Amino acid sequence: MKVSIIGATGYTGEELLRILAAHPAVEIAYITSESQNGENINRVYPHLSHLYDKKLVSMNKLEIIAEESDIVFLGLPHGHAMAAGKRLLAGGTKVIDLGADYRFRDIAVYQKWYKVEHTHVDAPSVYGLPELYRSKVKEAILIGNPGCYTTASILALAPLVKNELIELNSIVIDAKSGVSGAGRGLSLNSHFSETFENVKAYNIGGHRHTPEIEQALSEQAGNEVVVTFTPHLIPMARGILSTCYGTLKAGVDSTDVDQAFAKMYGDEYFIRLLGRGGYPATKNTRGSNFCDIGWHIDSRTGRVISVSAIDNLVKGAAGQAVQNLNIMFGLDERTGLSQAPLYP
């Protein structure tokens, strides 16, 4: 299978390259970068030496890329992916977009939160969270690959809202992310000396992953869900921990909660249930496509606290994209994703 990556030099593109290097069914066709056009990828990322020896090209000849690729990953900023996506689909290739452009059913929600006009309104996109939408992913030609906070938070809460175990207006999501989620672009917020030995919240009430979480949870619940979502930046490179709070409905007991998780995820390879009382740790997922989930009942307050851990660049981005590719092409879902987490 021939695979191309548009925008290959960000952390997401580089992570795709890392994963695909071990994927037995994939051959890289094109990798693009406008700023480093003509450069060998192993000059940009020396850790890929002896694994890749390939030049970055411009994305301006997108039609050729479409023609010579069975599938194309888009690693472009939101607002830019949809133009490329349109041309690629027209060229007959499949597309997985790792940004936000194809994640929303309701274009108005996208436009409100992202302040950009959507120019590919009738896109046949599928939301690529396999554990919830696997059958649709199987038929898809265009995937909107979920965000990192989103993946962790939805997976932690879906069993609770789907099975009507918590009050829908009670959800609070407190998430902690490593700095790689902010990408490779330079900013004081990812300057080492500022970020090290530091923790802070940001974008309270306004982070763009909020509507994405609400969209999926509302579908699971069959009712509108509105959440409070607070992202935090913590001093590590990879990993997201999402601590999710909800008030149990009257009459719900701990067994109901246990069963909801078991029923929804008991057969999922990439979700590891730590059970009631279990404590996920981001380190246990680092470098892998696993999402670890544990949950707790706070009987004093009647709340359930569901905690999930992922590697933001893998299950929260590139790994999930490869999982989607596997499903779209009828491969075993684990193909190329069987690496054990890197611990310690």
Tell me which residue of 317, 320, 310 sits closest to 341, measured CA to CA: 310
Asked if 266 and 177 touch (Cβ cutoff 8 Å), the reply is no
What minimum distance in Å lies between the beta carbon of 12 and a copy of itself?
A: 12
- Residues 74/98, Cβ–Cβ less than 8 Å: yes
Q: What is the DSSP letter of 190?
A: G
Nearest distance from C-beta of residue 124 to a copy of itself, angstroms: 30
Single out the residue of 224, 203, 206, 215 nearest to residue 144, CA to CA.
Answer: 215
Q: How far apart are CA 131 and CA 154, in angstroms?
A: 10
Closest CB to a copy of itself among residues 122, 197 = 197
Determine if residue 99 is left, alpha or beta; phi over 0 gives left, psi from -120 to 50 gives alpha, anything else beta: beta
- Closer residue to a copy of itself (CB): 199 or 262: 199
Residue 148 annotated in active site? yes
Q: Please pick, among 41, 56, 148, 154, the residue that the annotation labels catalytic.
A: 148
Minimum distance from residue 244 beta carbon to a copy of itself (Å): 10
Q: What whole-number distance in Å separates Cα of residue 309 and Cα of residue 272?
A: 10
* Residues near 47 by beta carbon (within 8 Å), at least 6 away in sequence: none
- 27: burial class by Cβ within 10 Å (0-12, 13-18, 19+)? exposed
Q: How far is the CB of 76 from a copy of itself (least distance, A)?
A: 20
Q: With the C-alpha atoms ordered 42, 48, 50, 54, is the resulting torsion angle positive or negative?
A: negative
Q: Which of 242, 247, 269 is nearest to 257 (CA)?
A: 247
User: Measured from the CB of residue 259, what is the shortest distance to a copy of itself in angstroms?
Assistant: 20
Q: Which residues are catalytic?
A: 148
